[in-house]
Every structure is written in structure tokens, then in C-alpha cells.
Amino acid sequence: MGTITLKLKKMKKIFYIKTAVILLMATTLLSSCLKDDSRYIPFSASAPVVDFGLAANVGTINTATISGAQSTNPVNFLITVQSVNPTTGPVTVNCVIDQAAMTAQAPTYTLLPASTYTVGSLTVTVPPGTGQPPVGSASVPIVGPLPTTFAQGQAALTFTLNTAAVKALPAGTYGLPVTIASASGLGVIVDQFHTLIYKIVVGP
């Protein structure tokens, strides 16, 4: 019995020593990682990010139901510039109508003909003053008039659809795909949510 007890005590001692060594190694490793400046990411110095806030919230493909009772319907693409620190200058966002993106993501859709809408410019300027705005906003509708003021870091690209022209199209599923091709000013980064496709539906 004395021999068995002695062996158990030695085994426990060895277990405790191994545990202590492992804890010491883990502590040393963690400490070295924390002191490794090469792994430090200075988020406060990160460039602003530009994207479609709506795409980040509810997906790349969304439905824009226009009113069949109105002669024209504004369809809005909400653009956001998000930044850790308030921006000090405007951000110019250049968009394109991207049939290739729609073909890849919604191959059964037909590109909405340019004859059914008007758009002033595919370039949008987001004013300075961005300070971590919410992604998306209920005050900027998909379809309808734009608000008189925007949240910081927001602007919109608006297409005005001619209802009669849309209703006169042959039967099919039509889409309006827009991609943020580039953005300039403040070293902004175009985020992964840079394509937004609206399925166009005529409602009552």
C-alpha cells in the first residue's frame, strides 16, 4: 500500500509540474503577442468605407415596388460612408449600371431599359462630417421622395421611373443593377457591399 501511495503522489506531482509549465508557456506566448506591434491594427487611422447600406442589411437583391397609380416613381440607392472619425472632406462616389453583376447574381432578370427611366448623374457626392452613421435608414425609402436632410455619411442615387413605360414592357422580370465602381477623397475603400440590384415590380 505504501508503494502505491508513493507512486500516486509522484504522479500528482508530475501532473502539477506539467500544468504549471503549460500555463507559463501560454502566458509567455500571449504576452509576446500583445507586445507584437506588427499585429496591431490601428482602427482609428482606418480609411472610410463606402457601400450600399441597404445591401449590407437585407441582401444584394431587393424589390422596388413602384406605384401604378403615379406617373413617375423615384427609386433610390442609398450610399453610406462609414468612418471611425468624422470625415473632413466630401467623398465622390462613381456608380455604373452593371448588367454583368445582375447576370451573375440574378440570371433570370432582364435589364430595365434605359427608355423607362431618367437619372441625372451616376456620380454622387457624400458631404463631410461622417461619424459612424447607421447602415441604412428608414428615412431614405427605396421608392419615393428623398428626405430633405440625410443622416451624416449618407447620400442617394435616384432613378425616376416612368410608370407607363415600365407597364408597357413585355412580360418578364426586370432588374435595375447598380455597382459602386470607385470612390475618391479621404482614401476611401469600396466595401464588399458595392452592388445593389432592384427587382422592379408595378404595384396598385
The model's pLDDT over 15-72, given as tens digits with 9 standing for 90+, comes to 455 455 455 555 555 554 444 444 333 344 578 889 997 776 778 899 999 999 999 9
- Cβ burial 111-150 (10 Å sphere, 16+ → b, else e): ebeeebbebeebebebebebeebebbbeebbbbeeeeeeb
Residue 85, pLDDT score: 77
Residue among 122, 128, 123 nearest 185 (CA): 128
Residue among 168, 155, 89, 163 nearest 122 (CA): 155
Give the mean model confidence (pLDDT) for residues 77-87. 85
Residue 8 has pLDDT above 60, yes or no: no
pLDDT per residue over 172-194, tens digit each?
Answer: 999 999 999 999 887 888 988 89
Residue 37, pLDDT score: 46
* CATH for the 44-203 domain, from 1.10.10.1100, 3.50.30.30, 2.60.40.1740, 2.102.10.10: 2.60.40.1740
Residue 152, pLDDT score: 80
pLDDT per residue over 84-134, tens digit each?
Answer: 877 888 999 999 999 999 999 999 999 999 999 999 999 999 988 755 544
Residue 185, pLDDT score: 83
